[in-house]
Amino acid sequence: MDKPDTALRRLTAATAALAALPLLPHLPPLLAGLVLLLCLAGYLLPKPHRLLVLAALLVSLAMLMLAFHGRFGRDTAAGMLALMLALKCLETGSLRDLRALLGFALFLPFAALLDNQGPLTLTLALIGMLAWLFALQSTSTGALEWPHGRWRQVASGMGRQLLMALPLAAALFWLFPRIATPLWGLPGLSDTGAGLGDSMRPGQWLDTLADDRIAFRVSFDGPAPPPAQRYWRGPVLWDFDGLEWRRTRQDSTPAVQPPSDAGTRAGIGYSVSLEPTEKRYLPVLDWPGAAPAGYYLSADGGAYGDKPVQRLTQYRARALPSPPADTLAPAARLRALAYPRAFNPRTQALARQWRAEAANERAYIARVLQWIQRDFAYTLDTPEPGIHGVDDFLFGYRRGFCQHFSSSFALMMRAAGIPSRVVTGYAGGYRNPYGGYWLLYRRDAHAWNEVWLEGEGWVRVDPTAAVAPENILDTLGTGTGDGQDAAGGGALSPLLDIGDLLRTRWNDWMLGFNAARQTQLFRNIGLAEAQRWQMLLVLMALAALLSYAVFLLAGRMPEPVDPLEKAWRRVLAKLERIGLGKRRHETAPDYAARLAGRAAWSPSLTDAARRYTALRYGQTPVDPRDVRALADDLRALARRIRRAR
């Protein structure tokens, strides 16, 4: 009993691989390959020596460290779980081992869903769970009877179980009390990834600008604003050290005096569905009137939360048509003018010279923008910056992307005595023609500048747009831009658009269900202000009812396939209904004899019972014609009983 046969070991190894499947796309390819390899080894090889397993364990751990660069996070833990499980496939020696393996395999699909709740991952997880169920069924007997040629039966059995489980699962899903505020946070990823953050250095965004994943989806309440106004504000960077722009922790704390709510009635209303970023900021449309509910605005106009965005987050906000009236505090002014004097001497000299030649700040800014527009080119292919990065860019290669432009422009302003800062965020977007909403990809990440002009406040200036507006405001464009090309192009694009529309609906209806929507649901079915325990009570009553329904459904006698048996049972059921049921111990002729003379159909019943007994239990060979004739007679008899009543 304790020594599982090879077939069972193989089945468990295959189940482990299937359970790990939804997780594999989220793991580094090296690790995913290793997991599959180990499962395959568990499938093909007998249990190896203990030392060999130990060696495999050490190698796997080393590769895990290598794949995650020695950092430890949520994804490292998931990778480790998958690896351990795959290793366990190698050394299953008893039925107990197999059970333990199956028990822990349960965790893998859930680990995958923690990272991605998309329909594909859920489908893969579901397949993994069905395989798990089949493995459990097979191990419960201790020996696998491989269903040769009975796969349809197995599949229909599985389908039946799934169907019977669905009502209860749905009831639990909708009615189980949800937790409004998380009790504990999610551990972070080992690599918080490229993209917008608290710092920016030239060249750092190359991966991000090639990333085709979706950053967020937006639907505007009214018509969409023109492209030149669709700047999605992220972290604002203040401090420059000659190479890198940064912001401090204090910059992300709530503003001392948040902007007044006066303007929030007007402006552009929109709702955003933000994919996980592992960062604390929310992209908001310039200029944010107020922070979305549950979040706050920082002094420099960004929206932040207390925790990183680790799951799909939906929020509503309003944008003001113009920046709110603001004053620049002396400390902030000094910060917005600071720059290291030791670096980029040529830039500093040029800025001072041009500022002296210009009549006012506006003229100076116009001259710089003109220069950039005339002499510079937009490209993602840039050399690595040297120690005087801005000098190299402005007077050397003169091509680059938003990071170079915004960084150099801000220095030009500061060196000329104009307070300025770098704003990171997103610009552009692609409109899904079927859903009417806008998609912003990670490659739409952008950096631009804000300069402080007395009397006007912070004014947005986008030097990159001066060079290549189509690259910034066009992914952009009005539905015919890079978005489609990058997404696969031409003939396939309607399919992709519809696919994304479905995904959006999935996000809204499936993933967006939470405590608030649940309360709404209860209110809709008349349970206003339902207490938690009342909800549980309703749920338990429903669960009991559903379980009883399953009990009745699953406990039904199997339908006889033999037409004669079917017809005979129908007659018996008819008689049972009029109170003349057959007793268990009675044979068919005895029963007919008991009912003799009861009604007009009694003689035919006696005749049918005699023939039924002869055909079923008689010694003579059965003629199929007799069977058919009797079945017909029985059906006729059943009809007569119905009429007689």
- Give the DSSP letter string of 284-298: EESSBSSPPTT-EEB
With respect to other proteins, which residue has the nearer C-beta, 175 or 218? 175
Q: Least distance (Å) from other proteins to the CB of residue 113?
A: 4
> What DSSP element (H or E) covers 440?
strand 438-441
CB closer to other proteins out of 33 and 182: 182
Please report the DSSP string for 301-315 in residue order. S-EE-SS---S-EEE
Q: Is-contact 515 179, C-beta < 8 A?
A: yes
Q: Which of 272, 297, 74 is nearest to 192 (CA)?
A: 74
CB of 562 to other proteins, least distance (A): 14
In angstroms, the CA 403 to CA 388 distance is 15
Compute the least distance from the CB of residue 71 to other proteins, in Å: 22
Q: Which is nearer to other proteins, 140 or 619 (CB)?
A: 140
* Least distance to other proteins, CB of residue 106, Å: 5
10 Å Cβ neighbour count for 107?
15
Whole-angstrom Cα distance, residue 20 to residue 89? Answer: 12
Q: In the bound complex, what is the minimum distance in angstroms from residue 137's beta carbon to other proteins?
A: 6
Q: Minimum Å distance from CB 574 to other proteins?
A: 20
CA–CA separation, 243 and 386 (whole Å): 9
Q: Amino acid identity of 262?
A: A
> 3-state class of 155 per DSSP?
helix
Q: Which is nearer to other proteins, 420 or 518 (CB)?
A: 518
Query: Quick one: 475 or 519, whose CB is closer to other proteins?
Result: 519
- Token readout for 385 is 């910056």
The residue (of 184 and 645) whose beta carbon lies closer to other proteins is 184
Q: Which is nearer to other proteins, 134 or 452 (CB)?
A: 134
Name the strands in the sheet holding 438-441, side by side, starting at the edge strand that comes first in the sequence: 313-319, 268-274, 214-220, 438-441, 430-431
Nearer to other proteins, 172 or 262 (CB): 172
Closer residue to other proteins, CB minimum distance, 55 or 126: 126
Give min distance, CB of 183 to other proteins, in A. 5
Residues in the site for other proteins, rule: CB under 8 A?
99, 103-104, 106-107, 109-110, 113-114, 117-118, 121-122, 125-126, 129, 133, 136-137, 139-142, 145, 161-162, 164-169, 172-173, 176, 178-179, 182-184, 186, 310-311, 510-515, 547, 550-551, 554-555, 557-558
Minimum distance from residue 177 beta carbon to other proteins (Å): 8
In the complex, what is the shortest distance from the CB of residue 432 to other proteins, in angstroms, rounded to a whole number? 22
Q: Which residues pair with 218 in a beta bridge?
A: 272, 438
Tally Cβ neighbours within 10 Å of residue 409.
Answer: 27
Distances 462 to 103, 257, 337, 481 between C-alpha atoms, Å: 56, 28, 19, 20
**Beta carbon nearer to other proteins, 322 or 547:** 547
Give 393's contacts (C-beta < 8 A, 6+ positions apart).
Answer: 202, 385, 400, 404, 408
* Least distance to other proteins, CB of residue 80, Å: 17
Which letter does DSSP use for residue 491 in this model?
G
Give the nearest distance from C-beta 278 to other proteins in angstroms: 14
CA gap 187, 190 in Å, rounded:
9
CB closer to other proteins, 121 vs 408: 121
Number of other CB atoms surrounding residue 257 within 10 Å: 7
Least Å distance between CB 570 and other proteins? 17
Nearer to other proteins, 92 or 464 (CB): 92
* Smaller CB separation from other proteins, 40 or 539: 539
Give long-range contacts, CB 8 A cutoff, 24+ apart: 510-516: 510/117, 511/117, 511/312, 512/273, 512/312, 512/314, 513/173, 513/174, 513/178, 514/178, 514/180, 515/178, 515/179, 515/180, 516/180
Tell me how far apart the alpha carbons of residues 92 and 398 are, in angstroms, rounded to a whole number.
63
User: What is the side-by-side order of every strand in the sheet holding 284-285?
Assistant: 284-285, 231-237, 420-427, 445-453, 457-461
Nearest approach, Cβ of residue 213 and other proteins (Å): 18
> Which residue in the block uniquely carries the two structure tokens 């890079």?
482
